[in-house]
Every structure is written in structure tokens, then in C-alpha cells.
Amino acid sequence: MIDRCCISVTEKCNLRCKYCHFATAGRRSRDVTKDEIASIVSSIRLYVSSHGTEFKVGIVGGGEPLIRFDMLQFIVEQLETDSRIKMYTISNGVDVDDAKLRFVWEHRNSLDYCISIDGGELLHDSNRIDVAGRGTFSKVMETVQKYEELFGHKPSVNCTVTPQLLAEKEQTIGFFADNGFKKVTFSKLFDSDDKILTGEFDALLKEASGHLEIRQLRKKKSYDCTQYGALCGVGRTNIYYASGLVYPCARFAGMSDYCIGSATDSLESIEANLKRIIPCEDGLCYYDQCFTKGAVQ
């Protein structure tokens, strides 16, 4: 049964992160339309109502989701009427004005807001740069300050794990702990020549857990994504909407052979197509097995 989806509301981005896998050739495409968003929202509501299940929706992007803030607003306002549906968005924290933060605060019971920060200033700015090649750390921290003034605590953080970070893991963990960040999700770097080994990643999580609340170390492993230390949900629980089409996860976006439906299809229809995918073993990543080891049909 599908219990989570991500909706890419835009393929546009105001940053040019050096490790971005969506920026590779052929991965960016058109933005989803408002009519398509309306169809997706309707399908989710009907599916949750029919199955009586809890459902998680990520309002994300092959780019920066807050660029199409009107779409985020629409999704939240339409789905929050059902308490079984919870939402989150991950923003780069750049160009976030007071009105956007106020909306997040007003809808805090249904929408979690997470900001991407890759550690201290030098480490963050080595990869997370704007279109002019300038580091974005100072702008992101301005958003963090505004968020804290409104909410009374620091936002949740998503931190991309690169080889540079692993080389400076003590300093990175110290940055988050010393600056009062409590909830940090460390995400493996995908689709890069710089592969992050499982042992290195697990060692980082273990060390960080002595200072921070780490999402991946919750007692029960759920089906979501190995990027976050969970189990791969491809062929089981997860789908990803991008450019009006549906894929088993974000890494397959734009690959026609792995399209399992369109934005106007019912979730029942998409689920039927998803079941044709034979899930990989727990602990493995379906995408990696397809394109690294060729073990998945």
C-alpha cells in the first residue's frame, strides 16, 4: 500500500549546488501544472479516505519548492483537512520572506518545514552556492533566525553528507550542537563519483547521536529511502510526482522506462503499476541495484 509520496512542484532552483543530481543532463523538465496538482491532491484525499490510512506528503522539488509557493499553499490547504495526512517541505532557506514563514507557522500542525544546511559556513559554502557562485550560508542563517523568533526553536535541518563533511564530521556535529539545532537528518550524497560508504555513514550517525536527535536512528525502520538511513520503499510504499508523471522514486525522474503513471491517474491505478516492481532486499537501494549491480528486474 502506498503511504507516502513526494510532489515536485518545480524544477527551477535559485541555487547551483555543486553536487545536485537533478542538475545533470536530462533530469530537469517542465513544472507540474496547477490542474495536475489539483488532480494529485484529489487522488490523495480519495485514497486516504478509501483506505483509512495515514499518509505522508513531501512538497519538494527538483528545484526549490518555495519558488512556487502558491502551489505549496494550495496543497497544504487542501490536504490538511484530513488529520491522517501529514506534510513536509525541504527548502534551501534562501529568499524566504516573512509571509512564507508566517504561513508555515500558521500551518505548523500539518506541515513540517526543514532547511538544508551542510554544516558550518566554510563547508556549507563550498557546495551550496547561488547562480552567481556565491555562498549562501549567511542568507540561510538569516532565515533560521527569523524562524526561531517566530517558533521559539530552531528548524529541523537536512544536511547532505559529502566526503568533505566526513573529513570534518566532528566540527560539523559541533556546529549543529553548539548553535542549538536539535533535529538533523543526514542525507547520503546520491549520483556522484564521490560514493559514501555505508560504514562511514553509520559511523557519522552514531557519533552525531550523542549530541543531536537523528531521524535515522528511530527504533523502527520504516520504508522510505536509504538516503535517510531508512529502508527502500520502491515497489512498496513510495511514489514521486515530477513534471506531470509518476516514478517509483526521485532518482528515476525523467526516465520513461520507469514511469508508472501520470498526475491525472488515480492512486489505485498507480499502485497497480507500482506492484509490478519487485522490491529489493531490506537494506539495499533499488536504484543502486538497477544501475550499479544490475540485480533488480
- Average pLDDT score over residue span 80-86: 98
Query: 96 with 66: CB under 8 angstroms?
Result: yes
**192: pLDDT strictly greater than 80:** no
Q: Which domain holds residue 67?
A: 4-293
d(CA 3, CA 40): 14
Helices and strands, counts by H and E, the chain: 10, 12
d(CA 96, CA 99): 8
pLDDT digit string (tens) for 209-223? 999 988 777 656 789
Chain centroid to CA 137: 20
Q: How high is the pLDDT of residue 38?
A: 98
Q: How high is the pLDDT of residue 61?
A: 82
**277: pLDDT strictly greater than 50:** yes
- Average pLDDT score over residue span 25-44: 87
> Any idea what the CATH number is for the domain that residue 123 is in?
3.20.20.70
Give the DSSP H or E segment for 213.
Answer: strand 213-214
pLDDT digit string (tens) for 87-144? 999 999 999 999 999 999 999 999 999 999 999 999 999 999 999 999 999 999 999 9
d(CA 44, CA 56): 10
Tell me the torsion sign for CA atoms 149, 9, 68, 127: positive
Q: How high is the pLDDT of residue 294?
A: 44
Residue 128 C-alpha cell reads as: 551550496
* Mean pLDDT, all residues of the chain: 92
Q: Could you give the number of structural domains in the chain?
A: 1
